[in-house]
Structure 1
Amino acid sequence: MNEIVIKQNLAPNVWFMGIYSPQVAKKAKPGQFVILRVTEKGERIPLTIADFDREKGVVYIIFQVVGKTTSLLSQLNIGDRIIDFVGPLGMPYEHSPEDKDYLFVAGGLGIPAIFSKVKMLHSEGKNIDIIIGGRSKENIFFEDELKKYCNNLYISTNDGSYGKKGFVTEILNDLLESGKRYDEIFAVGPVPMMKAVVDITKRFSIKTLVSLNPIMVDGTGMCGGCRVKIGNEVKFACVDGPIFDGFEVDFDGLMKRNSYYQDLENISYKEHKCKIGLGE
């Protein structure tokens, strides 16, 4: 169980893995996530389920090396096993059967988070447009896979090395200003990006969902680490989400909470890098 059966490098420090976990694959739905642990005394981290294959019993994840645990995970190879691989967790993505036209906006590591949702909607005959973006061309991945399931795929890069120069929000604004309309817009990526998307879609009164990934420990709602203010209520992203109405999310509070442990995370990662000879 929890054996790595696929490993591919998608972009600098970005890895795609297939994990043999039949019990998770059997129950997984678009929008859910897993929590994994690489070592006996290691931390637990949440990762979005990018896709799943129930017949093969495989769950697919995509992650970027940004800290100690993701660094350790990236060093594992095909045939290695992950100590803990718990899921599926969170509420799955739900949509209205009456809605026909969808737009997905994904930045960076948000790209894999939309994949299973797009596949599901495509199988139902929905009209789907997608905007993806990254810092440069080397940070754009899953382009060919997404093209199979959408009507239009728009790409932006910050440096202009691929697609339109600028941000995903600029393409979004251009589409809506031109008169394009959608029944639902779904945004996932860095919190400032999602906030910017919502700021635009509010002007056009288009329903907008966002997928949040705040600080998370147990994934069952017990620790309260992932709490986020939604409207006038406090919700837990791990059990009430991770998908919420973007118009209701307190993005400023979320960004503040997400920054609480950055210094400690950086110290831990730096010490880990030095120990394995990858330090400065």
Structure 2
Amino acid sequence: MYRILEKHELAPEVHEYVIEAPEIARAARPGQFIVLRLHERGERIPLTIADADPQTGGVTIVVQEVGKTTREMGDRFAAGDEILDFVGPLGRPSEIENFGTVICVGGGLGIAPVYPIARALRKAGNTVIGIIGARTEDLLFYIDRMEGACDELIVTTDDGSYGRKGFTSDPLTEILASGRKVDRAVAIGPAVMMKACAEVTRPFKVPTMVSLDSIMIDGTGMCGGCRVEVGGETKFACVDGPEFDGHKVNFDLLISRQRFYVEEERCALERYLKERQGTVG
């Protein structure tokens, strides 16, 4: 069992959890993820590691309550409670070296995993330009942490309620079009956002890494559920990734596969909400 050390609300239906998992905390590297299961009847879900502290043994994850398991976690699990399974670190770590100038783009929940990457890249000697964004001000988080991890930070919101109005790809386009030398880009967020960023960097020939959140079950390459197409070849996001060259990813296939079980996911959430209502009543 894995105890929840802390739980904080970051935004509506978005919570940060610090889980007591000393061995994972000591081994975790930026870009890796864990798979958790709340209880015996729970499903396995992958979540990218947002931070890890070897001293306290805490592993930080950020969870958006969009499905049955994440909603149940938000409703029923608090600091002091325990999670049945918490497995990791899984996946290949991000490539951290001194590339020169790196732009780190985080959209929506992607702000959480891009934060430790930006921090590590700056520590390695890079000049790090951060771009983070969300639909509206209420959904932004980690602004202070990203300011500390980056040399420059640009914040956008779709509706202009905070920072610049527009998408994260807009300042990315402007920076590259200005002629400023950029040696690498990292983009993490919804698939459509990562696709847009990869298309922006493509004509400028800036290597661009994206983190793919495909459907995943075991997280060890056995089930094949997380397969993605990269450079015309089939890859498994759990063991070959989750980070890949964004210029080679078939995003259209990724997006279609992400929606493969949307009806089953809807039914599971509705059943949980009905059960919860009955319990409350």
TM-score by length of 1: 0.97
Cα distance, 1:124 vs structure 2: 2.2
Cα distance, 1:181 vs structure 2: 2.5
Q: In the aligned structure 2, how far is the partner of 1:258 from the partner of 1:149?
A: 31
Q: In the aligned structure 1, how far is the partner of 2:37 from the partner of 2:30?
A: 22
Gaps of 5+ in 2: none
Percent identical pairs in the alignment equals: 45
- 3-state DSSP class of the match of 2:149? coil
Q: In the aligned structure 2, how far is the partner of 1:125 from the partner of 1:192?
A: 30
Q: In the aligned structure 2, how far is the partner of 1:122 from the partner of 1:177?
A: 23
Gaps of 5+ in 1: none
Q: Per-residue displacement from partner, 1:43-95 (whole Å, max 9, x unpaired)?
A: 10000000000111110000100011001111201110110000000000113
Q: Do 2:33 and 2:91's aligned partners in 1 also have CA atoms closer than 8 Å?
A: yes
Could you tell me which amino acid in structure 1 is paired with residue 169 of structure 2?
Answer: T
Q: In the aligned structure 2, how far is the partner of 1:188 from the partner of 1:73?
A: 23
Q: Do 2:20 and 2:59's aligned partners in 1 also have CA atoms closer than 8 Å?
A: yes
Aligned to 2:87: 86
State the superposition RMSD in angstroms. Answer: 1.3
Aligned to 1:134: 134
* 2:219 is the counterpart of 1:187: no
Could you tell me which amino acid in structure 2 is paired with residue 61 of structure 1?
Answer: I
* 2:143 is the counterpart of 1:143: yes
Q: In the aligned structure 2, how far is the partner of 1:81 from the partner of 1:17?
A: 12
Q: In the aligned structure 2, how far is the partner of 1:81 from the partner of 1:246?
A: 37
Q: Per-residue displacement from partner, 1:166-204 (whole Å, max 9, x unpaired)?
A: 111111111111222311000000001100111110011
Q: In the aligned structure 2, how far is the partner of 1:144 from the partner of 1:232?
A: 39
Aligned to 1:64: 64
Give the length in aligned residue pairs.
Answer: 278
Cα distance, 1:96 vs structure 2: 4.1
* Deviates most, 162-171 or 236-245: 162-171
Q: In the aligned structure 2, how far is the partner of 1:10 from the partner of 1:37?
A: 22
Q: Do 2:2 and 2:19's aligned partners in 1 also have CA atoms closer than 8 Å?
A: yes
Q: In the aligned structure 1, how far is the partner of 2:232 from the partner of 2:165?
A: 38
Q: Do 2:96 and 2:120's aligned partners in 1 also have CA atoms closer than 8 Å?
A: no
* 2:231 is the counterpart of 1:241: no
Aligned to 1:198: 198
Find runs of 4+ consecutive structure 1 residues off by over 4 angstroms. none
Q: In the aligned structure 2, how far is the partner of 1:72 from the partner of 1:14?
A: 12
- 3-state DSSP class of the match of 1:39? coil
Q: In the aligned structure 1, how far is the partner of 2:96 from the partner of 2:150?
A: 17
CA gap of 1:95–1:125, structure 2 versus 1, over 3 A, is closer
Cα distance, 1:275 vs structure 2: 1.7
Q: In the aligned structure 2, how far is the partner of 1:148 from the partner of 1:227?
A: 35
Cα distance, 1:230 vs structure 2: 0.7
Q: Do 2:16 and 2:62's aligned partners in 1 also have CA atoms closer than 8 Å?
A: yes
Q: In the aligned structure 2, how far is the partner of 1:119 from the partner of 1:173?
A: 23
- 3-state DSSP class of the match of 1:270? helix
- 3-state DSSP class of the match of 2:6? strand
Q: Do 2:52 and 2:58's aligned partners in 1 also have CA atoms closer than 8 Å?
A: yes
* 2:5 is the counterpart of 1:5: yes
Cα distance, 1:232 vs structure 2: 2.3
TM-score by length of 2: 0.96
Q: In the aligned structure 2, how far is the partner of 1:269 from the partner of 1:208?
A: 35
